Amino acid sequence: MPLEQQLEEVHRKFGVRVVYNDGQIAVVEKPQGLIVRDEERKDTLQHLVRENVGGFENYTPAHRIDRDTTGLVVGALNPSALLYLHILFRNRLLKKAYLAVVDGIMKVGERGKIEASLIQSGERMAVSGNKVSKGLWASTEYEVLAHVGTPYSPDCSLLKVDIHTGRTHQIRVHLKHIGYPVGGDPWYNPRGPQDGMYLHSSVLNFEVPKMQYSRTTFLSLPSWLPDEIRNDVEAKLLQAQKHQTVVR
């Protein structure tokens, strides 16, 4: 079966869309409910892609997003590409941005920065009460883009979220910490799970070797984003990426 047909089939069957593939690096759009990577399990993004797409037998995601988070994940198809991606992550040369819907009305245009260390609390994460040393330092920036409604609440806010560290559940815990939990979050929102969690990995931005190391923006908008604001939100996400290649 031709590669293009295989990719269409994987998208149709599993909701997994390959946004970019150059034989070394692949950017994949992950659906909700799928773990990115776990060597002891087969119900993962890594296993599904490896088993169903020719030439992706060595596909290895270079990072993780939570099971109920949707959106972009970048991975490698060979060891040298994986090393390259790990270097980018280690040196914070790969930029990520998320879209999140949170419970509550925030002022449109408001910007904020959350700097709070995170600690393990059972299976979950929590903000450390010790400001000196306990926990892993984490930094999150947000901008309020619009007021939106969801099936469970008419009073929600859409945020663009940038993370400067990649801690487990960082966005979810930080937004809960300031009183605006992510909509539908099964662990950190008092309302509990609804019709899915409103957190989407929307932007990956990094230098792509096969594109002469030009800085490239990979963009994905979530299915739950209202049609009437999609163009404005896309423009906002791309505002800082002028004169760069954009792959949707």
> Rounded to whole angstroms, how far apart are CA atoms 174 and 35?
22
- Measured CA distances, 112 to 28, 130, 142, 194, 234 (Å): 29, 21, 5, 27, 20
Q: Which spans in the chain are helix H?
A: 3-14, 45-52, 79-90, 170-177, 227-237
Q: What token pair was written down for 137?
A: 């330092």
Other CB atoms within 10 Å distance of the CB of residue 243: 5
Question: Which of 63, 61, 59, 39 has its CA nearest to residue 51?
Answer: 59
DSSP single-letter state for residue 77: S
Active-site choice (22, 38, 43, 66): 66
Residue 52 near residue 181, CB atoms below 8 Å: no
Report phi then psi at 170, rounded to 5: -55, -55
Q: Which spans in 32-137 are helix H?
A: 45-52, 79-90
**232 carries an active-site annotation:** no
**End-to-end Cα spacing for the chain:** 24
Q: Kindly report the CA angle at 39 between 11 and 187, in degrees rounded to 5?
A: 75
The catalytic residues are 66
